[in-house]
Structure 1
Amino acid sequence: MTLDALSDDVTAEYGALGEEIAVDLDRETRNELAMLETALEPESTDELLRRAVHMLFQSTVDTGTLDFHLRSSYDVTYDEYLSGMTYDEMTGANQFPQQGDPDDRRYQF
């Protein structure tokens, strides 16, 4: 897959999500959410859930997990997605590809 495929898939998912999502909570999640509500006193439960998504996203970016999954599925990284260009396109490697091993030149006379 490519950077364009990733962009198309993200756009499609964004549209499919809509404005609201109904989520079934298991017992453990409900207990943890109740504790967070009590301790943090947010304006609404929705605010806690938005924060949770932001924290999960940030931790997957920081640990490299997001890049791992993007590289596995789309052969791009999150930085490449944000810039709209692959590293090869940024550095011009696609314009001047190396033939074979670049160290081969040292043996040519």
Structure 2
Amino acid sequence: MGLDDLTDDITAEYGELDDEYPLELDRETKNELAMLAAVFDSTDTDELIRRGIHALFRSTVDTGDLDFHLRQSYDVTYDEYLAGMTYDEMTGADQFPQRDDERRYQM
């Protein structure tokens, strides 16, 4: 097997992707999926897509991107989501009364 065989396999996989998925794949995505299908000798591109979603999810967790977006949108982190409670709830910090900073230094 060589470069020509790889190119042929990618081209064949690329052509089959048009008929297989109801979502529209751009050229770059189809090319990458075709490359993965050819390299892993997989006729089940659904499995490659599932792996891709898992890899993207793992990557966003590992780099902190998921926590960043969760904190922006929902004011929680992934760990808080998994635990079912916020850090303040875990540590008991939300049980103390709020300080009255206006009256704090008045005598």
Normalised to the residue count of structure 2, the TM-score between the two structures is 0.69
Kindly state the Cα deviation for residue 98 of structure 1 after the two structures are TM-superposed.
Answer: 5.6
Q: Structure 2: 5+ residue runs without aligned partners?
A: 1-20
Q: Which runs of 4+ in 1 moved over 6 A?
A: none
Kindly tell me the number of residue pairs found equivalent between the two proteins: 83
Equivalent in the alignment of 1:95: 95
Q: Name the CA shift for 1:66/1:27 in 2 (closer, same or farther; >3 Å).
A: same
One-letter identity of the residue aligned with 1:82? L
Equivalent in the alignment of 1:49: 49
Normalised to the residue count of structure 1, the TM-score between the two structures is 0.68
Equivalent in the alignment of 1:78: 78
Kindly state the Cα deviation for residue 100 of structure 1 after the two structures are TM-superposed.
Answer: 6.0
Larger radius of gyration: 2
Kindly state the Cα deviation for residue 43 of structure 1 after the two structures are TM-superposed.
Answer: 4.9
Question: What is the 5 A alignment of 1:1-109?
Answer: 22-97=22-97, 99=99
Structure 1: distance between partners of 2:63 and 2:79: 14
**Which has the higher relative contact order, 1 or 2, with Cα contacts under 8 A spaced 6 or more apart?**
1
Q: Structure 1: 5+ residue runs without aligned partners?
A: 1-20
